[in-house]
Amino acid sequence: MGSIKDRVAIVGMGCTRFGENWYKNSSDMIIEAANEAFQDAGVTKDDIEAAWVGTLWSGDSGQTLAEPLKLPYMPITRVENMCATASDAFRNASYAVAAGIYDRVLVVGFEKLKDSGLSGLPETQVYGTNRLQTQTAPGHFALLATSYFAKYGLSPEEGKRMLGHISVKSHHNGSLNPKAHFQREVTLEQVINAPLVAWPLGLFDCCGVSDGAAAAIITRAELAKQFRPDPVYVKALQICVGQRSGFIRSDYDWTQIRETYEAGRRAYQEAGIKVPREEISMAEVHDCFSITEAVTMEDLQFSVRGGVREDIESGFFDIDGGLPVQPSGGLKCFGHPIGASGLRMLYEMYKQLQGKAEKRQLKNPKLGLTHNLGGFPAGPTISVVIVGR
């Protein structure tokens, strides 16, 4: 197996404001994100040779990108891999660039969820026997909390405090981000006492449903300086797809996610990283729910098994801590337009590495990691992407 390290560079990115974009449809958001990326890279759509577009529910076929941007007779692939959709679109585009087939490639991720008028995400419904238990996302991710608390001896109060700190931290970062949906701080009491969605997860433990789009323009590493003096280089691209076997095997215990560990391990190997906790400068992980972020810290080897509580409560993952997590505000403050999130995470890493993260700017970051989780903990699809200078 080969390595992608330092073979592909990001030379332009764009990102819309995420939120309840009542007055913007998918096309509006695609145009906005792509325009920002074109301007950032100093190119127009006529310079683009190929495109990859990621969306889960908001469009079919490459046409979903060609139509709004009027891309001319272009090879365009629509990618879907649940919540890892945007990251996987980026991954596939990167391989085409690294292979030398295309020199200038556009990647867009977008999702328009708020037209549905629903609370929460729809369950994935396939014609079948529908003989399923109640299958909402909060319900299934809450199982992680029930099991984690039980395994490590956390009382519900202790567990809620640990989780609460995560959301407080993310909201602080989001309050510094003009593109976030929610830009206000919250207190620990607010989070702990919020109405329950799926025990023990409360309203502030769950990311919202929102609309958004993000875009990237990529090229081969050796061509990058033709576009800008400060490109961002791809160090690792990993996807790990689960079998949903935790629903069937009795040895899955809902206190960790093996697919995350595997994707992370392979990404570190690809990027040449030996001690992730020390070498990764910042991370945007899939905080669909606060407990997901907690468990992911251990799965990505940022914390030892059973040790994330100490790291969270000591502020290690806060914006001024040793390894800032969700410097953008995360899914918690942006919501999760599924096809867009992976690229939005990359946008934050990109801006941080270029020193353009404004009020959220970290001091001299070197390596940024993004992580997505699609599906349910008992066998999900995971992406881990590492970028750096």
Partner 1 sequence: MAGIVSYGAYVPLHRLGRSEISKAWGGTGGEGEKAVASYDEDSITMAVAAARDCSKGFDRSKLDGVYFASTTSPYWEKLASATIASAMGLRSDILTADFSGSLRSGTNALKAALDAVTAGSADYILVVAGDARIGIPRSDKEMSFGDAAAAVIVAKEAAAVNVEGRHSVSGELFDFWRPDRDVFVRSAEDRFAREVGYNTVVTDTVRSALNKFRLKPTDIAKVCLYAPDARQLMSTSAAIGFDTKGGQVEESLHNSVGNCGASQSLLMLVCALEKARQGDRLLLVSYGDGCDVLSLVVQKELPKVKGRRGVKMHLETKRNLPSYQKYVLWRELVQVQPASRPPMIPVSPVALLRDRGWGLSLHGSKCKKCGTPQYPMQRVCVICGAQDQYVPYSFADLVGRLTTFSHDNLGAAIDPPSTVCAVDFEGGGRIMCDMTDRDPAQVATGMPVEMVFRKLHYSGGIHNYWWKCSPIRC
Q: What residues are labeled active site?
A: 83, 336
Residue whose structure tokens are 């199982």 = 143
- Give Cβ neighbours of residue 137 (< 8 Å, ≥ 6 apart): 120, 121, 288, 289, 376
Beta strands in the chain (DSSP E): 8-15, 50-54, 76-79, 105-111, 196-198, 201-202, 212-220, 232-241, 282-284, 367-374, 381-388
When binding is defined by CB under 8 A, the residue of 127, 153, 275, 320 that contacts partner 1 is 127
Which is nearer to partner 1, 62 or 377 (by Cβ)?
Answer: 377
Site for partner 1 in 145-164 (CB under 8 A): 145-147, 150
Least separation in angstroms between residue 354's CB and partner 1 is 39
When binding is defined by CB under 8 A, the residue of 117, 153, 178, 229 that contacts partner 1 is 117
* Per-residue contact string for residues 185-204; x = within reach of partner 1 by CB under 8 A: ----------xxxxxxx---
Asked if 364 touches partner 1 (CB under 8 A), the answer is: no
Least separation in angstroms between residue 302's CB and partner 1 is 24
Asked if 253 touches partner 1 (CB under 8 A), the answer is: yes
Least separation in angstroms between residue 154's CB and partner 1 is 13
The rounded radius of gyration (Å) of the Cα atoms in the chain is: 19
Asked if 123 touches partner 1 (CB under 8 A), the answer is: yes
Asked if 229 touches partner 1 (CB under 8 A), the answer is: no
Report the distance separating Cα 185 and Cα 167, nearest Å: 9
Least separation in angstroms between residue 82's CB and partner 1 is 17
Asked if 31 touches partner 1 (CB under 8 A), the answer is: no
Question: What are the φ and ψ backbone dihedral angles of 112, each rounded to 5 degrees?
Answer: -120, 95
When binding is defined by CB under 8 A, the residue of 78, 91, 140, 360 that contacts partner 1 is 140
Asked if 306 touches partner 1 (CB under 8 A), the answer is: no
Beta bridge partners of 382: 240, 373
Among 139, 196, 201, 119, smallest CA distance to 166 is for 201
Burial class (CB in 10 A: 0-12, 13-18, 19+), 230: middle
Residue count at the site for partner 1 (CB under 8 A)? Answer: 43
When binding is defined by CB under 8 A, the residue of 25, 75, 139, 188 that contacts partner 1 is 139
How is 96-150 classified by DSSP, letter by letter? HHHTTS-SSEEEEEEE--GGG--SSPPP---SS--------HHHHHHHHHHHHHH
Report the distance separating Cα 102 and Cα 252, nearest Å: 42
When binding is defined by CB under 8 A, the residue of 23, 100, 134, 153 that contacts partner 1 is 134
Asked if 125 touches partner 1 (CB under 8 A), the answer is: yes
When binding is defined by CB under 8 A, the residue of 50, 143, 263, 273 that contacts partner 1 is 143
Which is nearer to partner 1, 146 or 290 (by Cβ)?
Answer: 146
When binding is defined by CB under 8 A, the residue of 12, 14, 109, 138 that contacts partner 1 is 138
Among 368, 371, 363, 370, smallest CA distance to 389 is for 368
- C-alpha to C-alpha distances, 328 to 113, 129, 353, 362, nearest whole angstrom: 21, 41, 13, 11
* Residues engaged in binding partner 1 (CB under 8 A): 116-120, 122-123, 125, 127-136, 138-140, 142-143, 145-147, 150, 195-201, 243, 245, 247-250, 253-254, 378
